[in-house]
């Protein structure tokens, strides 16, 4: 903790975040349990994507945050603007990112079996919750700049709290694209 930081002056969103993340897990499993093999392969409401591809992509949103969180904690210790060039570089690669992101989800949706995705989701969430537990009160408002062109749920600058809320927003957005 820096000298000018008093840990009692910082809100601690861990409990709210844990509740949000666990509710997403419950919703994910409810959808997965109701998904038939035909439903997995069925065209979603997102053109060109099956329900299975959407579910894999939703899981990937949690995986991404698990990878980004240590990076955000590191950038958060540096001067605020230091991550801006990195975000600019990533924004410059939006077109290839979108192509790889779409191709990856489609390929994973064909390879990953419905019986596997629940375990992948659960292990990823457990690791994310474990990472979240190590965040100190003074860190919550630290963060980094992000490639906001990559996803409408990204903000230009995201604190650790916003980053941990991202996979739930991403999840809810895509949940409405599943065809029943």
Residue 20 lies in a domain: yes
Percent of the chain with pLDDT strictly greater than 70: 94
Tens of pLDDT, residues 114-167: 889 999 999 999 999 999 999 999 999 999 999 888 888 889 999 999 999 999
Distance CA 42, CA 12 (A): 42
User: Is 32 a residue whose pLDDT tops 80?
Assistant: yes
User: Which residue has tokens 């991403």?
Assistant: 170
User: Is 2 a residue whose pLDDT tops 50?
Assistant: no
pLDDT for the residue numbered 1: 47
Distance CA 85, CA 101 (A): 22
Residue 166 lies in a domain: yes
User: Which of 11-20, 40-49, 94-103 comes out lowest in average pLDDT?
Assistant: 94-103
Q: Which residue has the higher pLDDT, 16 or 106?
A: 16
Angle between helices 94-111 and 84-92 (to 10 degrees): 70
Residue 152: which CATH number?
A: 1.20.120.450
pLDDT for the residue numbered 96: 84
Tens of pLDDT, residues 78-120: 998 999 999 999 889 888 877 887 787 778 877 888 889 999 9
The pairing of strands 143-145 and 157-159 is antiparallel
Distance CA 91, CA 105 (A): 20
Residue 131 lies in a domain: yes
Residue 60 lies in a domain: yes
Residue 19 lies in a domain: yes
Residue 75 lies in a domain: yes
Q: How many domains does the chain have?
A: 1
Residue 41 lies in a domain: yes
Residue 1 lies in a domain: no
Please provide the size of the chain in residues. 180
Angle (nearest 5°) at CA 165 between 85 and 89: 15
Domain residues for 77? 13-175
């Amino acid at each position: 903790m820096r000298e000018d930081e008093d840990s009692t002056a910082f809100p601690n969103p861990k409990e709210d975040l844990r509740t949000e993340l666990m509710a997403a897990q419950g919703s994910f499993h409810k959808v997965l349990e109701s998904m038939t093999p035909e439903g997995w392969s069925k065209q979603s409401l997102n053109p060109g994507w099956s329900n299975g591809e959407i579910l894999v992509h939703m899981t990937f949103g949690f995986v991404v945050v698990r990878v980004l969180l240590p990076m955000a904690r590191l950038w958060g210790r540096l001067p605020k603007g230091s991550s801006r060039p990195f975000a600019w570089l990533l924004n410059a690669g939006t077109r290839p990112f979108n192509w790889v992101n779409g191709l990856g989800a489609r390929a994973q949706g064909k390879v990953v079996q419905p019986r596997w995705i629940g375990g992948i989701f659960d292990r990823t969430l457990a690791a994310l919750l474990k990472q979240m537990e190590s965040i100190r009160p003074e860190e919550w408002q630290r963060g980094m700049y992000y490639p906001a062109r990559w996803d409408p749920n990204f903000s230009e600058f995201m604190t650790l709290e916003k980053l941990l809320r991202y996979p739930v927003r991403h999840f809810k957005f895509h949940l409405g694209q599943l065809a029943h």
